[in-house]
Amino acid sequence: MPPDSPPAEAPAPVEPHPPFEPPSLTALFLAFAKMSLAGFGGVLVWARRGIVEQHRWMTAEEFNETFALCHFLPGPNIVNLSFVFGSRFGGFAGGVAAFAGLIGPPMLIAIVLAALYARFGEIETLRRILAGVSSAAVGLLIAVVLRMMMPLVKKRDVAGMLMLMAVFVAIGVLRLPLQVVLLVTVPLSLLVTWSLHGRGS
């Protein structure tokens, strides 16, 4: 009679993921203050890194969707993003905390730099330094645009990529007015999205 086979080991229990804790008002303020202080060349680069990669408060797709919404609101996009993002987790107080963190520290630094530039702005060395900083700013902006494109590439969203290229050509190449491009592309993108995804739901 064959020997009894050893009992199979029970699978290890799967630990549940800890519940997501929304950031506090202090955390929102400090996070956006850190983004704004690091954001030489544009805060968008650091905002995406902090929100998506460091704190994981949003996925890459959620960040793109929120930023797209802020793009169509009046005012600076990153300022809109700070208030919309803060309001999502902390209501009106959260929006104010994120907004204050984004605006406060750079405003103080800008006041000091403006006073220095008014006194020393004619120095040629300073002009060359500012030209180099502007080149770095363009590079940072291109880098974050490429990273924001990755969700579309991974999903093989052909319609989204075509819309992206159309807007780039319309504004960047043909120099069409931004308001006209938005009035055409926003309804068109909604129609395309509904026709491709809405009918199947």
CA dihedral (61, 65, 71, 74) positive or negative: negative
The share of the chain scoring above pLDDT 90, in percent, equals: 17
Q: Using alpha carbons, select from 163, 142, 143 the residue that is nearest to residue 152.
A: 163
Where is the domain boundary, 122, 138, 156? 156
Mean pLDDT score of the chain, rounded to an integer? 79
Q: What is the pLDDT of residue 4?
A: 54
| Number of domains the chain contains | 2
* Same-domain pairing of 125 and 56: yes
Domain that holds residue 167: 157-201
Is residue 54 predicted with pLDDT exceeding 50?
A: yes
pTM: 0.57
Highest mean pLDDT among 104-108, 124-128, 141-145: 104-108
Residue 170 resides in a domain: yes
Six-digit token string for 174: 């043909």
Q: What is the pLDDT of residue 150?
A: 79
pLDDT in tens, 143-162: 777 777 777 777 777 777 88
Highest mean pLDDT among 16-20, 55-59, 127-131, 152-156: 55-59
* Same-domain pairing of 148 and 169: no
